[in-house]
Amino acid sequence: MKIGLYPGSFDPFTVGHLDVLWHASSLFDRVYVSILRNSAKQPVFTEEERVDLIRKVISDAGIDRVEVLTFDGLTVKHAKALGAGYLIRGLRAITDFEYEFSMDALNRHLAPEIQTVYFMAKPEHSFLSSSKVREIGSLGGSIHGLVPECIEKMITERLAQQ
């Protein structure tokens, strides 16, 4: 059974993340979307809120064989505990490459048996990041089209309180 782990901050989950998940779910027998807990970053959405938002998106999009979790510690350790042989990441632009390249090298050092697979973002998502969504939303701009429609209202309201 091919199991993939899609780790990240997802603060918040965007249409770019959804696109990656959509493609990954068609290639793997099971995909775990897992949110890093206790990251050094000060998140806007709590871990519980992010789990709920992503579950709603998955159910709304009708994506099968996907489970949403949280984790702390090393991603590869979490992958091993889940029986996942693959890490899933999205690549938007050349700027992502350096970060992903070093993360891949370190993860390979820690767990050579785990492979990372990358999904290229759609050109229209190449500019999109959770941090830009947070910035636009907290400054009162429209995030329509940047986050999945079923969670847009919740995200908009929450960011407006920032």
So which residues are the catalytic ones? 17, 41, 92, 130
- Does 103 engage in binding with ligand PNS (CB under 6 A)? yes
User: CB-wise, 75 or 156, nearer to ligand PNS?
Assistant: 75
Q: Contact, 27 vs 2, CB < 8 A?
A: yes
Residue 14 interacting with ligand PNS (CB under 6 A): no
Q: Is 139 an interacting residue with respect to ligand PNS (CB under 6 A)?
A: no
Least CB distance to ligand PNS at residue 160 (A): 23
Nearer residue to ligand PNS within complex by CB, 105 or 150:
105
Element holding 96 (H helix, E strand)? helix 94-110
Task: Spell out the SS3 assignment of 27-57.
Answer: HCCEEEEEEECCCCCCCCCCHHHHHHHHHHH
Give the bridge partners for 158, in sequence order: none
Per CB under 6 A, the segment of 6-14, 47-55, 140-148, 150-158 that binds ligand PNS is 6-14
Which residue is nearest to ligand PNS, using beta carbons? 8
- Six token digits for residue 142: 């429209």
Question: Minimum distance from CB of 8 to ligand PNS (Å)?
Answer: 3
Q: Is the dihedral of CA 99, 93, 9, 112 positive or negative?
A: negative
Give residue 66's identity as a one-letter amino acid code. V
**Kind of pairing, strands 3-8 and 115-120?**
unpaired
- By CB under 6 A, name the binding residues for ligand PNS: 7-9, 36, 74-75, 103, 106-107
